[in-house]
Amino acid sequence: MFNMKYRNNIWTRMARSLSDEMSEQESISFKERMNKKPRHQSQFEKMKHTWDAIDKEPSIKFMDTRKAWKRLESSLEQDGLLENKKTRLKTIMLHPLFRIAASILLILGLALPVVYYSIKNSNPAVLTISHSSDEGISSFDLPDGSRVFLNEGSDISYPREFQDDRTIKLQGEAFFEVMANPAKPFKVHTGKVVVSVLGTHFNIKKLPGEAGIEVFVETGTVQLYDTESKNRLILSEGELGLSDESGIRMGELKNLNYLSWKTKKFVFDNEDISSVFRTLESAYHVKIITENLDVQNMRLTSTYMQQSIDAILETLCTAFGLNVERVDKTYYLKTSQ
């Protein structure tokens, strides 16, 4: 199932690129990823060629649909994805997205079950938009005008148009600036926790492979709901809520740089240099290696505002008499000769 979801995600990104739904940063990241994946690049070029042909001749959208449908039927049966062939397939076949995708994928020879899997699990009346921040932080507005800052390596999805409420799904870390609307509660689902708000600014962290979830409220009030224990926790401005295998509880925020990944503001008060490096690594998604350095007695008191990681490390190296070398996203700190 993981492989199916992964393939579906790749196909979705290709479609978003072709339809110009990516931000500039997402587009750059997408192109870099395609360059590293020759097989995906080849599929994308074929899809683009067909996409351009559709723009020139709209009737191609419905070309060979019956033939594509037969191939889909056979593939679904082999993969064990078919539920009720007599009724379910007829419903999916009426979906306009499938009619287009089936024709394109028939020409390209791609995996049709991916399309079925995507459409089968969605409401035909509601389109879902997905964002992935593969490189750096991406920011964008939701349909209601709320603002999202998505940390690197995180994924988020939401309906193109909110209905009775505003439901978001998150994997990773994001900061939300929610527009107030009492008639439509704002809900973020991550792991086993649902965070509900009306209008506030808050941060959610759910790291892949980790059971723990953290919610920090910058302004306003939010509610944490554990779908397993059914317990609730109300958080106010400046408070931190934690969720793990033992349930949900109030936490204590001691880290002055908790939101530095978003703000790029750092405050270090007589902090040991190893802790400083860990903070910078997390905020900038880099690796800092101190080769044979005795850093036990190195401490830092300083403030940095909206500076690049290169500028900060240059300042630190000057203060402690070190040299820095960069290789891709890894920084090597050495003693000055």
Distance CA 267, CA 146 (A): 28
Instruction: Check which CATH number belongs to the domain holding 175 and give it.
Output: 2.60.120.1440
Shared domain check, 209 and 97: no
Shared domain check, 93 and 201: no
**Where is the domain boundary, 232, 251, 270?**
251
| pLDDT score recorded for residue 87 | 40
What is residue 143's three-state secondary structure? coil
Q: What average pLDDT does the chain have?
A: 76
pLDDT digits (tens, 9 = 90+) for 171-204: 999 999 999 888 888 999 998 899 998 778 999 9
Identity of the amino acid at 252: E
Shared domain check, 267 and 210: no
Shared domain check, 115 and 7: yes
What is residue 11's three-state secondary structure? helix
Residue linked to tokens 């759910």: 206
Residue 318 lies in domain = 260-335
pLDDT digits (tens, 9 = 90+) for 205-217: 987 667 789 999 9
**Where is the domain boundary, 251, 277, 299?**
251
Residue 254 above 60 pLDDT? yes
Shared domain check, 184 and 110: no
Domain count, the chain: 3
**Which pTM was predicted?**
0.59
Strands 287-290 and 330-335: parallel
Residue 89 above 60 pLDDT? no
Residue 205 and residue 154 in contact, taking contact as beta carbons nearer than 8 Å: no
Shared domain check, 170 and 56: no
Residue 107 and residue 45 in contact, taking contact as beta carbons nearer than 8 Å: no
Instruction: Check which CATH number belongs to the domain holding 268 and give it.
Output: 3.55.50.30
Shared domain check, 180 and 116: no
Shared domain check, 143 and 84: no
**Where is the domain boundary, 191, 223, 251?**
251
| pLDDT score recorded for residue 305 | 92
DSSP 216-267: EEEES-EEEEETTT--EEEE-TT-EEEEETTEEEEE----TTTTHHHH-EEE
DSSP state of 165: S
Residue 124 above 60 pLDDT? no
Shared domain check, 115 and 14: yes
Structure tokens at 65: 């649909």
Shared domain check, 137 and 115: no
Distance CA 115, CA 110 (A): 10
Shared domain check, 299 and 282: yes
Shared domain check, 132 and 108: no
Structure tokens at 106: 């028939």
